């Protein structure tokens, strides 16, 4: 990488550790966002021997979304997941043959028609959560949203129930998955040699977790039978030319990617609704007007415009996948001075981009769904909001997550007021994705 104009960087830079000193692996994103505020729309950091460029300005972002010049980069954080999910959709390299084979097979599972097919199952699962919440006990929100979204992806995509609501805490699949995500994340912040010596215990644990995750997947497939019918994600894959190992990778990718980010999104949204009863009241009035008394129908979901703004606003403030990487397709210059050779890459820090006061106004840090009112959206640069990434390899599950999110919020706020714990202040945890920490709400029937 060649910098014509020197880029801003943090003040203390040490050999070996680079700029990493004093930053816990659990607060990398928070730290990166703070640096963006201090240093501006592009800055550079040294992380061990790796130079990473962080971009958070809408002008530079607009260049980076140009698919003729840039493509997804499978960044080190994603490479770290390859022992678990190999050439699955999320972790595949752009030129891997199975990537294109998987698109052919799986794209139909994410069409509007497919969403229509999943709708009744989503409603059914959400009703099971309502049954639990009707008891009126305080909810451990992240735990409950994790049960909800894992159950939804399990049943819609794979015809498989994790019996989530009959368990005190989410299925052990979730714990094993989170441990292996954390392991992958931490493995990046281990100093090269010392890390290898001190990490053997974690390595062993991780091998056991991967074996367990694979066993769960095999159970999901066995439950179906090799030539099972139906047209869910599993059926499409089992009838396809994708090989067994790749199908395994895809199943873990969809079970993990399909629930974790969405659960966090819903948790942040419920937190904001609990602290903004006016927003909740307005959304509830919309749900009453659009859906009437019965279960929301498929067609209703697209009409819940204000609830949709709540989902978008949550993803703006807390993009649960807070960054993505873009690599140069050919030698090029980014902005007015960063020369990138083919294959060199930069990180788009969505978490900072989406709070840029120059774009979002003086209340950029405030929860206000009217940031997504149509007039406001028209005035804003297009690439200031990218919670699902961009281009060819943007999130395939976007419509799925939005449909599920709007539907779940609608059914919850229609029925309950949300009482926060007195004095709770939002704390954000980073476990590959962002999620609220210590969030408890008491649902009260309206």
Q: Output the CA torsion sign for 368, 370, 372, 377.
A: negative
Report if residue 340 touches ligand MNH, rule: CB under 6 A.
no
CB of 26 to ligand MNH, least distance (A): 19
Selected range binding ligand MNH among 38-46, 207-215, 288-296, 391-399, rule: CB under 6 A: 391-399
Asked whether position 105 contacts ligand MNH by CB under 6 A, the answer is no
* CB of 36 or CB of 252, closer to ligand MNH: 252
Smallest separation (angstroms) from ligand MNH to the CB of 262: 4
Of 211-219, 257-265, 328-336, 412-420: span binding ligand MNH (CB under 6 A): 257-265
177 binds ligand MNH (CB under 6 A): no
257 contributes a contact to ligand MNH by CB under 6 A? yes
Q: Is 56 in the site for ligand MNH (CB under 6 A)?
A: no
Please tell me whether residue 396 binds ligand MNH under the rule CB under 6 A.
yes
Report if residue 246 touches ligand MNH, rule: CB under 6 A. Answer: no
* Per-residue buried b or exposed e for 294-306, using 16+ beta carbons within 10 Å of the residue's own CB: eebebebbeebeb
- 10 vs 156 by CB, closer to ligand MNH: 156
- State which of residues 58, 170, 387, 443 lies at the interface with ligand MNH (CB under 6 A): 387
Residue 344: other Cβ atoms inside 10 A: 18
Cβ closer to ligand MNH: 156 or 206?
A: 156
Minimum distance, C-beta of residue 12 to ligand MNH, in the bound complex (Å): 30
Q: Does 324 bind ligand MNH (CB under 6 A)?
A: yes
Q: Does 256 bind ligand MNH (CB under 6 A)?
A: no
Q: Is there a binding annotation on residue 291?
A: no
> Does 253 contact ligand MNH by CB under 6 A?
yes
Active site residue ranges? 261, 388, 395
Region binding ligand MNH by CB under 6 A among candidate stretches 14-22, 183-191, 261-269, 407-415:
261-269
Confirm or reject binding of residue 170 to ligand MNH (CB under 6 A): no
Q: How far is CA 91 from the centre of its chain?
A: 14
Stretch that binds ligand MNH, among 179-187, 201-209, 277-285, 387-395 (CB under 6 A): 387-395
Ranges within 62-91 binding ligand MNH (CB under 6 A)? 72, 89-90
- Do the beta carbons of residue 404 and residue 262 sit within 8 Å? yes
- Of 9 and 410, nearer to ligand MNH (C-beta) is 410
| Rounded Cα distance, 377 and 362, in Å | 16
Query: Does 220 participate in binding ligand MNH (rule CB under 6 A)?
Result: no
3-state secondary structure the chain: CEECCCCCCCCCCECCCECCCCCCHHHHHHHHHHHHHHHCCEEEEEECCEEEEEECCHHHHHHHCCCCCEEECCCHHHHCCHHHHCCCCCCCCCCCHHHHHHHHHHHHHHCHHHHHHHHHHHHHHHHHHHHHHCCCCCEEHHHHHHHHHHHHHHHHHHCCCCCHHHCCCCCHHHHHHHHHHHHHHHHCCCCHHHHHHHCHHHHHHHHHHHHHHHHHHHHHHHHHCCCCCCCCHHHHHHCCCCCHHHHHHHHHHHHHHCCHHHHHHHHHHHHHHHHCHHHHHHHHHHHHHHHCCCCCCHHHHCCCHHHHHHHHHHHHHCCCCCCEEEEECCCEEECCCEEECCCCEEEECHHHHCCCHHHHCCCCCCCCHHHHCHHHHHHCCHHHCCCCCCHHHCCCCHHHHHHHHHHHHHHHHHHEEEEECCCCCCEEEEECEEEEECCEEEEEEC
**Nearest distance from residue 39's CB to ligand MNH, in Å?**
23
Q: How many residues bind ligand MNH (CB under 6 A)?
A: 24
Report if residue 400 touches ligand MNH, rule: CB under 6 A: yes
Contacts of ligand MNH in 106-165 (CB under 6 A): 153
The one among 58, 389, 436, 443 contacting ligand MNH by CB under 6 A: 389
Sign for the pseudo-dihedral over CA of 369, 34, 437, 79: positive
Considering the complex, what minimum distance in angstroms separates the CB of residue 72 from ligand MNH? 5
Query: Nearest Cα to 52, choosing from 73, 26, 24, 81?
Result: 73
The answer to whether 262 contacts ligand MNH (rule: CB under 6 A) is: yes
- In this chain, which residue has its C-beta nearest to ligand MNH? 397
Residue 254, interface with ligand MNH (CB under 6 A)?
yes
**Residue 320 in the binding site for ligand MNH (CB under 6 A):** yes
Known binding positions for heme: 395
- Which parts of this chain interact with ligand MNH (CB under 6 A)? 72, 89-90, 153, 253-254, 257-258, 261-262, 265, 320-321, 324, 387-389, 393-397, 400-401
Known binding positions: 395
């Amino acid at each position: 990488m060649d910098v014509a104009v020197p880029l801003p960087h943090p003040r203390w830079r040490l050999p070996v550790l680079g700029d990493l000193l004093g930053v816990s692996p659990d607060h990398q994103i928070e730290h990166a966002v703070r640096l963006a505020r201090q240093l501006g729309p592009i800055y550079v950091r040294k992380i061990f021997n790796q130079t990473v460029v962080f971009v958070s300005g809408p002008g530079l972002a607009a260049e980076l979304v140009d698919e003729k010049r840039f493509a997804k980069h499978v960044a080190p954080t994603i490479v770290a997941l390859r022992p678990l999910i190999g050439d699955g959709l999320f972790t595949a390299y752009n030129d891997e043959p199975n990537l294109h084979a998987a698109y052919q097979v799986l794209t139909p599972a994410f069409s509007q028609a497919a969403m229509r097919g999943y709708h009744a199952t989503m409603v059914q699962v959400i009703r099971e959560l309502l049954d639990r919440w009707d008891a009126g006990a305080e909810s451990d929100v992240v735990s409950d949203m994790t049960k909800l979204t894992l159950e939804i992806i399990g049943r819609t995509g794979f015809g498989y129930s994790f019996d989530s609501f009959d368990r005190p805490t989410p299925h052990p699949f979730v714990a094993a998955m989170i441990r292996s995500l954390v392991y992958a994340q931490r493995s990046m912040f281990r100093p090269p040699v010392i890390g290898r010596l001190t990490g053997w215990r974690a390595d062993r644990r991780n091998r056991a977790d991967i074996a367990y995750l694979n066993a769960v997947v095999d159970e999901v497939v066995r439950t179906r039978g090799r030539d099972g019918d139906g047209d869910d994600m599993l059926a499409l894959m089992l009838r396809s030319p994708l090989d067994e190992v790749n199908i395994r990778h895809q199943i873990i990718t969809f079970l993990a990617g399909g629930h974790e980010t969405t659960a966090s999104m819903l948790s942040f949204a419920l937190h904001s609704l609990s602290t903004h009863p006016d927003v909740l009241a307005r959304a509830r009035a919309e749900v009453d007007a659009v859906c009437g008394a019965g279960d929301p129908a498929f067609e209703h979901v697209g009409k819940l415009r204000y609830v949709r703004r709540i989902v978008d606003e949550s993803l703006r403030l807390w993009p649960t996948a807070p960054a993505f990487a873009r690599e140069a397709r050919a030698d090029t210059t980014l902005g007015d001075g960063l020369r990138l050779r083919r294959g060199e890459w930069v990180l788009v820090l969505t978490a900072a981009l989406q709070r840029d006061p120059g774009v979002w106004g003086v209340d950029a840090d405030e929860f206000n769904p009217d940031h997504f009112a149509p007039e406001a959206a028209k005035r804003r640069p297009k690439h200031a909001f990218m919670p699902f990434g961009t281009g060819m390899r943007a999130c395939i599950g976007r419509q799925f997550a939005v449909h599920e999110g709007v539907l779940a919020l609608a059914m919850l706020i229609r029925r309950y007021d949300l009482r926060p714990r007195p004095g709770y202040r939002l704390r954000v945890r980073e476990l590959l994705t962002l999620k609220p920490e210590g969030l408890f709400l008491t649902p009260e029937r309206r």
